[in-house]
Amino acid sequence: MSDHGTLTSPEPLVRADSRLDRRRRFGSLFDAPHPGRVGVLFPPLDVPEADPAALYGKQHRPVVEGEVEASEVDVVRHFTRLSQMNFAIDTALYSLGSCTMKHNPRLNEEIARLPGFNDTHPYAPEHLAQGNLELLFRLEEALKVLTGFARVTLQPSAGANGELTGALMIRAAHVKAGNARKHVLVPDSAHGTNPATAHFAGYSVVELGSSRRGTVDLSELEAKLTEDVAALMITVPNTLGVFEDRILDVAKLVHGKGAYLYLDGANFNAFVGKVRPADMGVDVMHMNLHKTFSTPHGGGGPGAGPVGVGASLVPFLPVPTVERAGGGFRLDYDRPDSIGKMRAFYGNFGVLVRALTYILSYGSSIPEVAENAVLNANYLRKRLAPFYDLKYDAPSYHEIVFSDHRQAAMGVHNIDIAKRLMDFGFHPPTMSFPLIVPGALMIEPTETEGKDELDAFADAMIAIARECETSPGIVTSAPHTTPVGRLDEAGAAREASRPGNFAPVLRAPVR
């Protein structure tokens, strides 16, 4: 007789032995060699076959020892499985302050992959590359409109590279004027790249303390601004999310000493289309196309870091620039004061295509980006301020910097909160930065989040704040539901540092 209609509690589900659960394969393709497997078929060779051994003699290499042997099936499965272990902006909000993790529009991907853009060689004759030159020209024009600068170079490969380009131009300008100068002023709230860049341009760094609101302290600036200062490097809004409201006074002081005002454009998302940096007195600025202009982060690159300059720095731009010529365009290398080249060819062209596609999609409505970015950040600030400490209480723009001060009293730190957030399906905020806020939790939702996602994120953060009070152990031992638990980073660093030891820590062992 059967039990129809009777509710019985089901037998507990038995998990498969994790060694047999095919979803729990970890490690790399190098761990499981399959000698003899192949992944590619070539067309038959349609010329006489050359003999490398005969041609190269002692320089001949018969095989690359240790390389993978796999079929297409193995490779597709391996990388598909790897992808499933990643969080992405396509899945949920990334609250990473200063990274502007916004939605990456798919139209950008399609346009960048048009064969007419994607399958073109940089040394094709210029008359056969007019479309590419036109794209570069139009992107420069669009960025000029948004920034107010005289010209923009699209060559730098990333934000940091753009920063270096700007620093080199500043130095070249000072050298040309007869005095290279010695220092660059950098606020103590700055990203670590700023001092590293200044050093590369041959300048030493003088740190500026911030005011109580985290903005530039004008009297300290005045005291440290000597004729030895080449430039002041600032970020607006600054790394605490506060707008430099005395920026015009700052610019005046800097220019008064013949120095340049450099703007780190990492936070452009807070005011793009609503303020033009040139109007603020900025002489040179780098932008991050992979932040403000939606090009994808791709797990760590590629980016692009165009640099806009005022008229005084135009002669020093890297070569080549793109100029109008006849009814079309040409590349100009004839620039005697140019700093030279920052990379081979013209820049991360595919990223530039994506950025122009994005700008065209928004057009004159682009101020909505900053408006909604600032609105969303302020909404999160409102929801989270009762639970997390706000060290600087000036109005926030596109990002808010909380700290773990309250939670630290219960033994929980920002890194623990970050790891616990993973169990809620969210990527952690930025933490190791800015240095002036210990235990920082820097949150930037961007404009591409709806109210529902913002509320879900806030709810998760609030739940964690409560866990810190009731059961902090759950937070300090998080994450619990990710493919791997907290990894032994100290062990990796120790193994990697040990002299003579590099495998398997930094690559597969040689077989």
Binding to other proteins in span 255-294, by CB under 8 A? 271, 273-276, 279-280, 294
Residues 172-211 close enough to bind other proteins by CB under 8 A? 172, 191-193, 195-202, 204-205
Q: Give the interface size with other proteins as a residue count (CB under 8 A).
A: 213
Residues 301-320 close enough to bind other proteins by CB under 8 A? 301-303, 318
For other proteins, the closer of residues 328 and 472 by Cβ is 328
Is 445:454 a contact under the CB 8 Å cutoff? yes
Among 23, 212, 451, 470, the residue binding other proteins under the rule CB under 8 A is 451
Among 98, 139, 152, 158, the residue binding other proteins under the rule CB under 8 A is 158
For other proteins, the closer of residues 204 and 469 by Cβ is 204
Task: Return the range that interacts with other proteins (CB under 8 A); candidates 1-9, 364-372, 400-408, 463-471.
Answer: 364-372
Min dist. Cβ of residue 222 to other proteins (A): 19
Token readout for 260 is 């340049």
Return the beta strands (E) in 222-326 as ranges: 229-235, 260-264, 284-286, 307-309, 321-325
Assess 372 for contact with other proteins (CB under 8 A). Answer: yes
Min dist. Cβ of residue 216 to other proteins (A): 14
Min dist. Cβ of residue 185 to other proteins (A): 13
Counting beta carbons within 10 angstroms of the beta carbon of residue 314, is it exposed (0 to 12), middle (13 to 18) or buried (19 or more)? middle
Nearest-angstrom CA–CA distance, 66 and 286: 42
Among 3, 11, 17, 489, the residue binding other proteins under the rule CB under 8 A is 489
For other proteins, the closer of residues 109 and 389 by Cβ is 109
Among 103, 176, 252, 466, the residue binding other proteins under the rule CB under 8 A is 103
Residues 18-57 close enough to bind other proteins by CB under 8 A? 26-30, 37-40, 42-43, 45-50, 52, 55-56
Token readout for 477 is 């031992």
Is 441:461 a contact under the CB 8 Å cutoff? no
Min dist. Cβ of residue 297 to other proteins (A): 5
Min dist. Cβ of residue 1 to other proteins (A): 46
Residues 208-237 close enough to bind other proteins by CB under 8 A? none
Assess 88 for contact with other proteins (CB under 8 A). Answer: yes
Going from the C-alpha of 131 to that of each of 112, 137, 207, 238, the distances in angstroms are 13, 10, 46, 38
Backbone angles phi, psi at 334, to 5 degrees: -90, 70
Nearest-angstrom CA–CA distance, 310 and 283: 5
Going from the C-alpha of 377 to that of each of 407, 455, 458, the distances in angstroms are 22, 12, 11
Min dist. Cβ of residue 504 to other proteins (A): 5
Sign of CA dihedral 161, 162, 166, 167: negative
Assess 82 for contact with other proteins (CB under 8 A). Answer: yes
Torsion of CA 221, 278, 314, 323, to 10 degrees: 160
Nearest-angstrom CA–CA distance, 414 and 97: 14
Backbone angles phi, psi at 428, to 5 degrees: -65, 160
Among 419, 441, 460, 475, the residue binding other proteins under the rule CB under 8 A is 419
Among 367, 390, 408, 463, the residue binding other proteins under the rule CB under 8 A is 367
Residues 318-347 close enough to bind other proteins by CB under 8 A? 318, 333, 339-347
Residues 455-474 close enough to bind other proteins by CB under 8 A? none
Among 5, 12, 115, 178, the residue binding other proteins under the rule CB under 8 A is 115
Nearest-angstrom CA–CA distance, 428 and 386: 19
For other proteins, the closer of residues 105 and 472 by Cβ is 105
Nearest-angstrom CA–CA distance, 37 and 201: 51
